[in-house]
A and B are shown apart, each in its own frame.
Chain A
Amino acid sequence: MRFMHYLRALRGVMTRELFRFVHQRERFISALVRPLMWLFIFAAGFRSTLGVAIIPPYETYILYEVYITPGLLGMVQLFNGMQSSLSMVYDREMGSMKILLVSPLPRGYLLTSKLLAGVLVSVLQAYVFLGIAYAYGIEAPPMGYLDVLPALVLSGLMLGALGLLLSSFIKQLENFAGVMNFVIFPMFFLSTALYPLWKIQESSELLYTLAQYNPFTHAVELIRFALYGQFNRDACIATATALLVFLILAIIGYNPSRGMMQRKGGPSQ
């Protein structure tokens, strides 16, 4: 009985997210337009400026468009994670987060369900992007499209958990612009999404070190290798570790007695 309750709650949260996704067509389109602009405009312009040497998992010289495709998949998921964090702050301001939190299930489970629902949407978006990239001529090995699925799920979970964590800290919607400046941009630019690590190292050791510890770098590499049928163990471990840390912190953040919802003032004086 109890087990069924858990499953039903998960179904409820996922269905709601899908319904909302279907209704918010603008959100879907803008989530697609962003990486496509990078692919069609930025990458096309950069193609001649930036030569990419042969590095794993690639076996030949590749076009810059091919190089940044996994990074743009990561970008789709990064924005999606932040978007769901935004919608959670919105939900909390609007009150519908309360409906979720007063349900008779452990809060950690409810938040994890919310996270899974967000990942479902982010994986869907990633595949649509891959489809358009394919039509544009960026083809990965056929099996790669299947192999990339678990990588997308894991990276989606990690970035979603980061969004969840941020949403427990952000008190108001207005603060969300800060998330753009202080989370999305540094994470994206300080990663291997746009240029390989050795290129970063050539220009700055500091940036190289930062990029190495950036969880987004590992998510992108995990996706990149998976898309070419290879398993990047280190990237997988790093992404999974980041996921665990973010998720645990987020659950603590939403805990009614210890978390941020109350941090402003404890009952003890």
Chain B
Amino acid sequence: MKSNAPYFNPLPDGVEMNALAVEGLSYAYGKKKALDKISFSVALGQCGILLGPNGAGKTTLFSLITRLYDSPEGRIRIAGHDLRRESNRALAQLGVVFQQPTLDLDLTVEQNLYYHADLHGLSRRKAKGRIREELERQGMYERRKEKVRQLNGGHRRRVEIARALLHEPRLLLLDEPTVGLDVPSRRAIVNYVHELARSGQIAVLWATHLIDEIQGGDRLIILHQGRIQAMGSVPEVLESTGAASVGEAFDRLTRREAA
């Protein structure tokens, strides 16, 4: 993996700086614990990589952060707002790219984005400006009148990222957003999102099982069997596991599954 990012100092875990703070979060499906007392935070300017094999609890965690589920055990705060008590304020600071495609295929790019802007209460003028900004940044503005059905997978993903950023959230959540994309599209999205985090205005939580999507300054959160097995910057995780590479560290931490 080529790391073109300067080493990024982890920000102190201050309340205001944390775009996402998860404390003691548990969740179970019946008797099966999907998440067991998870605690971590992601600060503005950070790109948190949530790494875990399938079934590690990533999807459950995302469902809880997006409030599709609710857990009475533990607490989630987005930009300082408690997700359970101030859910609307918290959700206003959240942008999400789900693993499944969620655009309306028969609607144009622009219609899809206006729908989202309406849901977030943006005025028409504001929405127009924001749609232009976000689409231009991804080189998709010229294609705004096209139906989503006509776009390829990579371009659809770009539209979804633009949509997630439309209301200027503090936290961007991405659930395995590059699955099924070709290498150039994947690389473009990985680089774009990392640059976004580096701007310092937003925090990113990126769920993946692809090691090569990690860049030097990322904060790793390795999840396995519903627990956090390791957490910290890349050098910290390497040191704590005694591994030579993130891949090796990941294998060591999740090996139990194979045993």
Interface residues of A (CB under 8 A from B): 1, 4-6, 8-9, 11-13, 15-16, 19-20, 23-24, 94-96, 98-106, 256-257, 261-262, 264-269
Contact = CB atoms under 8 A, between A and B. Distances in A.
A95 B32 contact: no
Interface string B12-38: 000000000000001111111000000
Contacts of B104: 16, 19-20, 96
B206 interface: no
A99 B92 CA distance: 12
B72 A95 contact: no
29 contacts: A8-B117, A8-B119, A8-B122, A8-B123, A9-B121, A12-B115, A16-B107, A20-B104, A20-B107, A23-B106, A94-B101, A95-B98, A95-B100, A98-B96, A99-B98, A99-B102, A102-B96, A104-B87, A104-B120, A256-B68, A257-B69, A257-B71, A257-B72, A264-B29, A265-B28, A265-B29, A267-B72, A269-B28, A269-B30
A172 to B, nearest CB: 14
A19 B67 CA distance: 28
Contacts of B30: 264-265, 269
B67 A267 contact: no
Interface in B85-144: 87-92, 94, 96, 98-104, 106-107, 111, 114-123
Contacts of A23: 106-107
A151 to B, nearest CB: 30
Interface string B165-203: 000000000000000000000000000000000000000
B236 interface: no
A261 B46 CA distance: 32
Nearest to A1: B121
B73 A103 contact: no
Contacts of B111: 15-16, 19
A10 to B, nearest CB: 8
B89 A104 contact: yes
B241 interface: no
A46 B183 CA distance: 65
B254 interface: no
Interface residues on B, range: 35 or more
Nearest to A254: B68
Contacts of A264: 29-30
Contacts of B245: none
Given A23-B106, A102-B96, A267 B26 contact: yes
Contacts of B70: 256-257, 262
Given A20-B107, A102-B66, A261-B69, A269 B29 contact: no
A13 B88 CA distance: 18
- Per DSSP, chain A at the interface is helix
B115 A15 contact: yes
A24 B115 contact: no
Interface in B50-101: 66-73, 87-92, 94, 96, 98-101
Contact of A269 (B31, B69, B100, B106): B31
Closest 4 CB pairs of A and B: A12-B118, A5-B121, A265-B30, A257-B70
B32 A265 contact: yes
Contacts of A13: 115, 118-119
A99 B104 CA distance: 11
Given A102-B96, A105-B119, A94 B102 contact: yes
B52 to A, nearest CB: 20
Given A95-B102, A265-B29, A103 B122 contact: no
A89 B186 CA distance: 30
Contacts of A257: 69-72
B100 A103 contact: no
B92 A104 contact: yes
B29 A19 contact: no
Contacts of A9: 118-119, 121
A88 B125 CA distance: 30
A8 B114 CA distance: 10
B106 A20 contact: yes
Given A265-B30, A265-B32, A96 B91 contact: no
The CB with the most chain A CB atoms within 10 A, among B32, B71, B96, B102, is that of B102
Nearest to B95: A102
Contacts of B29: 264-265
Contacts of A267: 26-28, 71-73
A262 B30 CA distance: 10
Nearest to B94: A102
B94 A105 contact: no
Contacts of A96: 102-104
